[in-house]
A = this chain, B = another copy of it.
Amino acid sequence: MIVAIKYPNGQPYHDSTHQPLSKKAADSKPVQHGHRGMSLEQELNRANEFYLQRGIANIHKKPTPIQIVHVDYPKRAAAKITEAYFQQASTTDYNGIYQGHYLDFDAKETNSPTAFPLNNLHQHQVTHLLDTKRLGGISFLIIRFTKYQETYCVPIDAINQFWERRKTERQSIPYQAIVQHGVLIQPSLYPSLPYLEAVDHII
């Protein structure tokens, strides 16, 4: 069980190390921790904070959809949800705006050194990405091969070629195909995963 520390304002505590650095702090000599130990989601959240702060893009991870069944309202304390269930999302996890473009994507990690397994992906995600692309959006997956610490931005059209053939042919996308159709996100110091530089190549 995780213990939530409640601050006097009744808001849950957020780890302040996850807040964006101030411009001044970012411009001074950064601590070189790279992205060691950070999950793909953490790196994307930090990149999004960076882009938001600099006025470059406004992209957010959507909250997990939850069906709330019962809430307690104690006196002098925050409302407490005591019964709730996870729901299936109907969209992807990330969307927002970048240089006038609507962006939509999901982020996936695999331990496999040879291929991205398509059971990591769901039909509703593929459908949503194809639909937003058809409407003029930039739709893609961010796929990380953890073995290589390589992260690619892969357009939904390339993904879909393999997705459509998954029942008759192979149920994964070979690493080499990701390298060929995707754009490698070059790591940097801050943010550690400047993924919009890769997105620039698929706009």
Q: Is A98 interfacial (CB 8 A cutoff)? A: yes
Task: Tell me the complex Cα distance, A150–B177, Å.
Answer: 53
Are B97 and A84 within 8 A (Cβ)?
no
B residues near A58, Cβ cutoff 8 Å: 128, 131-132, 135, 137
Interface residues of A (CB under 8 A from B): 1-4, 11-12, 52, 55, 57-58, 60, 62-70, 78-91, 95-102, 104, 128, 131-132, 134-137
Beyond the given pairs A2-B70, A4-B85, 16 more chain A to chain B contacts, judged by CB atoms under 8 angstroms and listed by A's residue number, are: A2-B69, A3-B69, A11-B88, A58-B128, A58-B132, A58-B137, A60-B90, A60-B91, A63-B65, A80-B85, A81-B83, A81-B84, A97-B136, A100-B102, A100-B136, A102-B102
